[in-house]
Amino acid sequence: MSNLPDRSGVSAALPTPLHSRTGPLCRTSNWRRWSGFLAADSYEPSHHREYHAVRAAAALFDISPLFKYRLTGPGARALADRMLTRDVTRLATGRVLYSPWCDARGKIRDDGTLQRLGEDDYRLTSAQPTLGWITDLARGLDVSVSDESEGTAALALQGPLSWKVLAAAGARAIGSPRYFGLTRAPLGGVETWISRTGYTGDLGYELWMPADGACAVWDTLIEAGRDFGIAPAGLAALDIARIEAALPLVHTDYVPAHEALIGAQRSSPFEMGLGWAVDLDKPAFVGKEALRAETGEPPRWRFCGIAIDWDSLERVFWRAGLPPLLPHGAVRSSAPLFHKSRQVGYASSRTWSPVLKSYIGLAHIEASHGPVGTNLEMQITVEHRPARVGVRVVKTPFFNPRRKRATPA
């Protein structure tokens, strides 16, 4: 009993390592709970400036509540390869990959990124606690799995000026990492891992550092970013940006396979538009048999982008004597989609996109109605009454600037 870690408390809403910085900034006290941590929804009364910082300057997010696991040892690669649907064996040191992972039925449990920090040293991020599952999977492999979720803080610096901020903060010397690259640099005197990744579909970086150095890194970035319009940003802004980038959100766009109560709640990577991340040629990974079998059948669902037709939106509101009312931010509740009188799917997230000036959404649609250009109807509520507006299946990502993949000098 005496070897238990000494903690001051176990709380339902722990401060993150950055709370001494984010706390005073959050003037609205608009906190959300994210994996049991306090996370700002927006620092200011409205999320607009924070959102626009993502698309026009640089936004700084505290993403410390992500779960982070460290896989080390000769079996680390084999473990990651067993777990993720993508081929991990070709991931070079200093590179990162995104991948979902599945249960034995080939349905997605979670998704995240795998960073290769060294020869036998990987960091895996996930949205949900996964330690028990990974540990079980590691059986028979010479690998150690440790949970560094609380010991490691994380920041996301996202936006067209993010490299400028990072360079000014001290990363210039190491050079800008390539898209999905990974480097190390001291920032504010703290050794920081910098990955060229993000959840906004923009130019951006994610920074990983020891929890006790997180505030020094934050301060350095805020200081360096002053001339570049840096803004601390919360989850509300992030949610809009990730929909524009067509990045799915667990629990919103899909139910983790192990939490599903009925089969219909589970999605395979193919049904989530992540078929590109399934490598059926690798020798073995969790769910492979099921996924292989699935490729033999026509897909049942597609995960699609939809754009809501403005004219029809205006029309249904006009009939109620109102101007079109747009959602304030991302909407995380589901809206049914119809083809004529038959329901053929549902939108799982939607938002007004300020950068595209368009009302967009992510949707699960029966495959036959999934091709780009298909016209459907979405049910919404207009002045307490159901109404249908036209939507069209469109290409994703909705917003896909060149700088997303660029390597600025």
Partner 1 sequence: MSIRGDHDAVIVGGGHNGLVSAAYLARAGLKVLVLERRHLVGGAAVTQEVFPGFRYSVASYVVSLLRPEIIRDLRLPEHGLDILPLESTLTPLPGGDSLARWSDPDQTRREIARWSPRDADAYADFSRCMYKLAWALKPLLSTVPPNPLRPGVRDAKTIRELARAVRGLDEADFERLFKLTTMSAADFLSEWFETGPLIATMSASGIIGTFAGPRTPGTAYVLLHHYLGEIDGVFRAWGFARGGNGAVSESIASAARSLGAEIRTSAPVEQVITSGGRARGVVLEGGEEIGARVVLSGLDPKRTFLQLLDQSDLPGEFVKSIQRFRIRGSSGKVNLALSELPRFTCLAGAGGSLTRTPGEAETLLRGAISISPSVDYLERAYDDAKYGRFSRRPFMDIVIPSMIDPTMAPPGKHVMSVFVQYAPFALDGGWNRVKRDAFGDAVIDTLAEFAPGLRDIILHRQVMTPLDMQQQMGLTEGNIFHGELTLQQLFLFRPVTGWANFRTPVRGYYQCGSGAHPGGGVCGAPGRLAALEVLRDLKVRRGRS
| Residue 10 in the binding site for partner 1 (CB under 8 A) | yes
| Residue 151 in the binding site for partner 1 (CB under 8 A) | no
Least Cβ distance, residue 260 to partner 1 (angstroms) = 9
| Residue 5 in the binding site for partner 1 (CB under 8 A) | yes
How far is the first Cα of the chain from the last one, in angstroms, to the nearest whole number?
53
Out of 32, 49, 258, 300, the only residue in the binding site for partner 1 (CB under 8 A) is: 258
Give me the residues paired with residue 361 across strands.
Answer: 306, 350
Out of 28, 30, 35, 46, the only residue in the binding site for partner 1 (CB under 8 A) is: 35
Stretch touching partner 1 by CB under 8 A, among 123-131, 283-291, 327-335, 368-376: 123-131
| Residue 29 in the binding site for partner 1 (CB under 8 A) | no
| Residue 32 in the binding site for partner 1 (CB under 8 A) | no
Least Cβ distance, residue 12 to partner 1 (angstroms) = 4
Instruction: Please report, for residues 166, 212, 290, the alpha-carbon distance to residue 294 in angstroms, rounded to integers and kept in the order given.
Output: 44, 46, 6
CB contact set of 408 (below 8 Å; sequence gap of 6+): 163, 164, 176, 203
Q: Which is nearer to partner 1, 88 or 255 (CB)?
A: 255
| Residue 262 in the binding site for partner 1 (CB under 8 A) | yes
Q: Which is nearer to partner 1, 4 or 92 (CB)?
A: 4
Out of 24, 132, 296, 298, the only residue in the binding site for partner 1 (CB under 8 A) is: 132
Q: Which two tokens stand for residue 388?
A: 């249908």
| Nearest-angstrom CA–CA distance, 181 and 77 | 18
Out of 15, 20, 27, 36, the only residue in the binding site for partner 1 (CB under 8 A) is: 36
Instruction: Please report, for residues 26, 305, 362, 389, 392, the alpha-carbon distance to residue 395 in angstroms, rounded to integers and kept in the order given.
Output: 36, 6, 11, 19, 10
Least Cβ distance, residue 122 to partner 1 (angstroms) = 18
Out of 120, 147, 148, 219, the only residue in the binding site for partner 1 (CB under 8 A) is: 147
| Nearest-angstrom CA–CA distance, 105 and 398 | 31
| Residue 386 in the binding site for partner 1 (CB under 8 A) | no
How many residues bind partner 1 (CB under 8 A)? The answer is 26
Q: In 171-220, at which residue ranges do the beta strands (DSSP E only) sit? A: 182-187, 190-195, 204-210
Identify the CA nearest to 80 among candidates 35, 112, 128.
Answer: 112
| Residue 259 in the binding site for partner 1 (CB under 8 A) | yes
| Residue 405 in the binding site for partner 1 (CB under 8 A) | no
Q: Which is nearer to partner 1, 178 or 258 (CB)?
A: 258
Out of 23, 73, 129, 401, the only residue in the binding site for partner 1 (CB under 8 A) is: 129
Identify the CA nearest to 279 among candidates 291, 267, 290, 271.
Answer: 291
Q: Are strands 58-62 and 230-232 parallel, antiparallel or unpaired?
A: parallel
Out of 16, 130, 348, 351, the only residue in the binding site for partner 1 (CB under 8 A) is: 130
| Residue 139 in the binding site for partner 1 (CB under 8 A) | no
Question: DSSP secondary-structure letter at 387?
Answer: E
Least Cβ distance, residue 14 to partner 1 (angstroms) = 8
| Nearest-angstrom CA–CA distance, 365 and 301 | 6
Instruction: Please report, for residues 72, 73, 310, the alpha-carbon distance to residue 141 in angstroms, rounded to integers and kept in the order given.
Output: 11, 9, 55
Backbone angles phi, psi at 309, to 5 degrees: -75, 120
Instruction: Please report, for residues 44, 50, 264, the alpha-carbon distance to residue 159 in angstroms, rounded to integers and kept in the order given.
Output: 19, 11, 37
Out of 6, 281, 297, 311, the only residue in the binding site for partner 1 (CB under 8 A) is: 6
| Residue 4 in the binding site for partner 1 (CB under 8 A) | yes
| Residue 103 in the binding site for partner 1 (CB under 8 A) | no
Residue 402, exposed/middle/buried by CB under 10 A (0-12, 13-18, 19+)? exposed
| Residue 251 in the binding site for partner 1 (CB under 8 A) | no
Contact positions toward partner 1, by CB under 8 A? 1-2, 4-12, 14, 33, 35-36, 129-133, 135, 147, 258-259, 261-262
